[in-house]
Amino acid sequence: MDQITVLVTGANGFIGRHLLNHLTKNAQFKIIGLQRSEDDSDTYTQSSLISLFQTYKPSVVVHLASNTSRSRDFKVMPAMLEGNVGLTTRLLEAARISAVPTKFIFLSSAEVYGPKEGMVRETDELKPVSPYGISKVMCEELFDIYFRNFGIHTHILRLFNCFGPGQARGFFISDLVHAFHAKQPLEMTEGMQKRDFLYITDVVRAIEIFILRPPIFEIINLSSGKLISLKEITALANMIVAPEHIEIMNHLPYRPFEIWEMYGNNDRLKLAGMNEMEDFNVSLSAYLSE
Please count the helices (runs of H) and the strands (runs of E) in the chain: 10, 14
- Work out whether strand 4-9 and strand 60-63 pair parallel, antiparallel, or are unpaired: parallel
CB atoms under 10 Å from CB of 21, counted, come to 10
DSSP for 140-199 reads HHHHHHHHHHH---EEEEEE-EEE-TTPPSSSHHHHHHHHHHHT-PEEE-----EE-EEE
Q: What is the mean pLDDT of the chain?
A: 94
Per-residue pLDDT at 198: 97
Per-residue pLDDT at 35: 85
Per-residue pLDDT at 257: 83
Q: For residue range 69-123, what is the model confidence (pLDDT) as tens digits? A: 877 889 999 999 999 999 999 999 999 999 989 999 999 999 999 999 999 999 9
Helices 14-23 and 200-212 meet at what angle, rounded to 10? 60
CATH class of the domain defined by 4-163+196-225+265-276? alpha beta
Q: For residue range 172-181, what is the model confidence (pLDDT) as tens digits? A: 999 999 999 9
Task: Inform me whether the pLDDT recorded for 209 exceeds 60.
Answer: yes
Task: Inform me whether the pLDDT recorded for 56 exceeds 60.
Answer: yes
> What is the greatest pairwise CA distance in the chain?
60
**Closest to 224 in 3D by CA, of 147, 154, 273, 279:** 279
Instruction: Tell me the HSE value of 119 on the side-chain side, using a 13 A CA sphere.
Output: 7
Using the 8-state DSSP alphabet, how is residue 112 labeled?
G
Instruction: Specify the pTM.
Output: 0.95
Mean pLDDT within 201-215: 98
> What values do phi and psi take at 71, rounded to 5?
-60, 140
What's the pLDDT band for 1 if we cut at 50, 70, 90? low
Q: For residue range 224-275, what is the model confidence (pLDDT) as tens digits? A: 999 999 999 999 999 999 999 999 999 999 988 889 999 999 999 999 999 9
Q: Where are the alpha helices (DSSP H) in 213-274?
A: 230-241, 267-271
Task: Inform me whether the pLDDT recorded for 41 exceeds 90.
Answer: no
Helical (H) or strand (E) element with 95: helix 87-98
Domain extents in the chain: 4-163+196-225+265-276
